[in-house]
Amino acid sequence: MKIIVVGGVAGGATAIARLRRLDENAEILLLERGKYVSFANCGLPYYIGGAIEERDSLFVTTKESIEDKYNIEIRTENEVLSIDKENKRVRIIDYTSGREYEEDYDKLLLSTGSSPFIPDVEGINERNIFKLWTVPDVDAIYSFIEKEKPKKAVVIGGGFIGLETAENLYEKGLEVTLVEMSDQVMPPLDKDMAKILENHLENKGVKLLLGEGFDGTENKGKTIKLKSGKKLESDITILSIGVRPNSEIAKSAGLELNERGGIKVDKFQKTSDENIYAVGDVIEVKDFILGTNTMIPLAGPANKQGRAVASNILEKREETYKATMGTSVAKVFDMTVATVGSNEKSLIKKGYKYKKDYYISLVHPMSHAGYYPGALPMTIKLIFGRDGEILGAQIVGYDGVDKRIDIIATTIYFKGNVYDLSDLELAYAPPYSSAKDPVNFAGYVATNILEGLTEPITLQELKEDKSKYTVLDVREEIEQVSGMMDEAISMPLTEIRNRIGELDKNKEYAIYCAVGIRGYIAERILKQRGFSAHNILGGYRTYLDIEGSSDYSDLSTEQDKFESSENKDDNNKEIKLLNVCGLSCPGPIVQVSEAINKLSPGEIIEVVATDPGFARDIKSWANNTGNTLLESSANKGKFSAKIQKGKRVEKEEKNPTNIKEKTMIIFDGDLDKAIASFIIATGAAAMGNKVNMFFTFWGLSILRKENAPKVKKDFMSKMFSMMLPKSSRKLGLSKMNFFGMGSKMIRKVMKDKGVSSLEELILNAQRAGVKMTACQMSMDVMGLSKEELIEGVEVGGVATMLSDNDNSNMNLFI
């Protein structure tokens, strides 16, 4: 039997090895259009960054080694041009000589893989525009970096390869901007989980531009154009927009394809032609969870398909490839992200309804026992059905993520459910796990939901219907110093039984703690006493991940004062060390508070923690308790901070005139007042002032997006939204508006006189670093949500405005 295999990277390379092991006498010919076979394309980004130091390490094996070991003929740089099904013959071109020739076959295996999508836009072929898919691709990128010494890089696409490429370019010393057309990175993740990753990327120094489409280049590839009109400067640009199946020869041969160009195969990997088989990225597979047809380009499934198809080709024993569940993992700087099965987005597209067809378990466990050094946090999102069947999972964390996703994937494969996750007996020792493994915890929460012990709500549910719930913060008061959810009532868990009389059984309570455990306990207390209560999934940590600041690494919080000559004696002070690694909230903050209380004013303590909440909380805690955060940093899942007891005021007292901060409260929504506000703001910023603009009531209309997404609202909110101006372009004048004619006239005059429009003024203010905050209370009253506001606007309450006022030497109410 003569077998021709087309493509020799993943599935094809596995298939030829097993073909030979099963049949010593078969004639096997491998045709590969590239120069190399069986190379580690998943390792290419790490060669760029230097994690993989030797180029030869990218090759799993060599052409010569395979030929010698398996007695197989391999022809590299030979591409199949066409297939003659009737005569069982392929036409081939040898790129080394330019010769075209034909070969007959008894069985043909297509493992042609996929290729990066390259958009047809201006400037796509410039010398500094690259794709990253093959060894020649990485050679070209590596050589360009070594010779041209680029400083700025742009990565187009925020999937697995895009994120790995961004990380490795950053590790190479480049300033990196990542552009992604969707509103999140890493498509297999849901948006709430992707936000954790986005925060980490930004903290590491990668600039993210989400919701931005690539629209070509100009200036010889040095300027990247985006569909929004923005332009970026780039010395090197890597395209990672997605992949397309290499199914051209299959299509020309008349093989059956799906709408995306994937080759349709049966469970034995046979195509619509009985003598032609196909494996890998080029084929359509069954979705393990939903049972629908899909395409999932992953190396693991490709290799398993290659192994199974060999037996089927030789008719030795029928082997089936069942389906693909999409188990995947990636390193992104210090974090690891992993997924398996369906995400919430895909379920919703299939018509699934939350709390009707599926539920969510969201937990924040540590990688191993917290009391053993080096324990690091992870977030597990488990999606499951009404009967407990596991539909999918996503995990983002620092350590042990791969182990947990593999446990869940194995449970899915053997048709296990959330009750099985609870019951799994997993290896335990303090350095490796906890007596209750993180996977067990995810299962416990899921079973509690199914058994009706808890009726949790998501932050999105709370956001969509805030008027329905009264929010309770059951954390300890020392934790609340660092911040609370808007309009939350403080009622620590330790006090809730004694203060139960303060609660109203006619209200519905949404409860949160740091990560969810105490929230669940509070929910159980209230429910058993006749109250309607819901635990907020993920607690305050998830709230901060999604809504809060992502600033973990303000390395110069008070550095100017810390290093000034006036305070040089501080360097001689003994710095006390406090290690709170492994402790979860509120542990770190509580221990810091106790340690600070034992210090004398001016003394310094250095704290090391692994709780991400600590990294965000410590700055607010220091400000609110009259202490000074001198330095903070984050590295490989550990967060450190230097805190001095008491406030540093010497510098400000000696130079009170150095305060240069302005706060403007924008109450009116008139065009002329908006223009004046932004002219003042940009002028103040240009003079070196820090400028805060707080928008409330009618002023919120200035910040509305022109084409805002649809948001679910109640009747009154819809009415307010309809009556308010739809965007800054719809604002009227405070005087002489004349049914909108006045606005058009003043805009024309401004254009004729070369004065920037309001929209340009807003953009200029953002570029100048003007801080724009929308009043949360006013948004609730006016029926507006954050999604309807322009990018870059923060949401805050009156406390935010008053804090800015306190720091300002000029306050304006407009």
Picking from 336, 409, 396, 411, the residue whose alpha carbon sits closest to that of residue 362 is 396
On whether the CB atoms of residues 52 and 46 are closer than 8 A, the answer is yes
Does the N-terminal peptide bond of residue 586 adopt cis geometry, omega within 30 degrees of 0?
yes
Alpha helices in 118-273 (DSSP H): 135-148, 160-171, 191-204, 248-252
Active site residue 42: yes
Exposed, middle or buried by CB within 10 Å (0-12, 13-18, 19+), for 654?
A: exposed
Centre a 10 Å sphere on the Cβ of residue 113 and count the other Cβ atoms it contains. 25
**What count of residues does the chain have?**
814
Picking from 617, 772, 592, 781, the residue whose alpha carbon sits closest to that of residue 694 is 772
Residue 438 tokens read as 């993180």
- Output phi, psi for 414, to 5 deg: -95, 25
CA distance 607 to 622: 13
Query: Cα separations (Å) of 656 from 157, 562, 653?
Result: 48, 18, 6
Backbone φ/ψ region at 336: left (φ over 0), alpha (ψ -120 to 50), beta? beta
CA distance 60 to 40: 6
Residue 253 tokens read as 């041969």
| Bridge partner list, 508 | 469, 532
CA distance 693 to 164: 37
Distance of CA 320 to the CA centre of its chain: 35
- The CA-CA-CA angle for residues 521, 527, 530, to 5°, reads 150
Picking from 99, 100, 98, the residue whose alpha carbon sits closest to that of residue 90 is 100
On whether the CB atoms of residues 782 and 644 are closer than 8 A, the answer is no
Active-site residue identified among 42, 581, 585, 775 = 42
For residue 721, the one-letter residue type is S
Query: Cα separations (Å) of 813 from 237, 337, 429, 483, 761?
Result: 45, 46, 61, 27, 19
Residue 499 tokens read as 């203060």
Residue positions annotated with a catalytic role: 42
